[in-house]
Amino acid sequence: MAEKTSFHEHIRNNKIKSFILIIVIFIFFIVLGYIIAMLFDPSYFFIIMIISIIFSLSYILISYYNSDKIALASVRARPASRIQHAQFFHAAENMSLASGLPMPRLFVMDSEEINGFASGRNPENAVICMTTGALKKLSKQELEGVIAHEMSHIANYDMRFMTLTAVLIGMISIIAELFLRSLWFSNDERGGRAQAILIVIGIILSILAPIAAQLVSLAISRRREFLADATGVKLTRYPPGLANALRKIKSEHVSSKETHRFPHAMAPLFISDPFKKKIQNIFSTHPDVNERIRRLDAM
């Protein structure tokens, strides 16, 4: 029999690992900036930093403050009905009381697939959207487990956390792009071999840093799913609820027509990968469902 572990321990470990991963992205940012500063005048680097921060922040903040509207519109969601979706409201109200958070606005999207997501910049502006398939196929305990998972994303401010990650990745990408483009217009032949080596290093870093930062971002996304699972158990005090919901998600067979309902950019928000990738790897937005079930069973 597997050794039981406290959900408090899972929460603490996942928060620490998420923080470490965000530090890794920040290190990419600093190292890339340092290499560029060595190649060019420091004031030039300062200008690049300002430009990258302005563009990255502007784009991300507009998305951040409209995240709920963008997410709901992209899946053509509609407001849930208290009469037609009474169990959805009941589960959400229970989890709202358990978490101490305001009741989120509830929405429904048409899909036979069992899935759902939460969005919104803070608990006061949060929404939870579930598929019609989830509301039809999940039992009361399973639905509460899924709602608790989504409420945990809200409680853990995951939208804010992932926005910070997106800002850092955006700045890395902009700096890398500006550096690579600046090489086309540079006629500086000073420095000889040392300068050439630095340029080669700078080019390699400018190409690889955005890719590496994006991979770290995906790792953070997977880590936040584990965190939401553990925090969800803290709310329900019933690990089998979410574990059994994940088992149903794992065993269901969904047509490609159903998966085409969702934009690929939305994938990280869902409780499970809506595109049902068979192989989990470093490019996956979600951790392996079997590992999630194993951890829930061990709580």
Burial class (CB in 10 A: 0-12, 13-18, 19+), 165: buried
Place of tokens 């009474």: 86
In whole angstroms, how far apart are CA 156 and each of 58, 118, 174, 184? 24, 12, 29, 44
State yes or no: is 150 an active-site residue.
Answer: yes
**Own/partner pairs, 179-186, CB within 8 angstroms, 24+ separation:** 179/32, 179/36, 179/48, 179/206, 180/206, 180/207, 182/40
∠ CA 286-223-155, rounded to 5°: 105
104's enclosing H/E stretch is: none
Among residues 113, 142, 144, 150, the one annotated as catalytic is: 150
Location of structure tokens 């509301």: 135
State how far the Cα of 159 lies from the Cα of 108, in Å rounded to an integer: 20
Burial class (CB in 10 A: 0-12, 13-18, 19+), 179: buried
Buried b (16+ CB within 10 A) or exposed e, 103-137: ebbbbbbebbbbbbbbbbbebebbbbbbbebbbeb
Compute the distance between CA of residue 103 and CA of residue 128 in angstroms, rounded to an integer: 10
Q: Which residues are catalytic?
A: 150
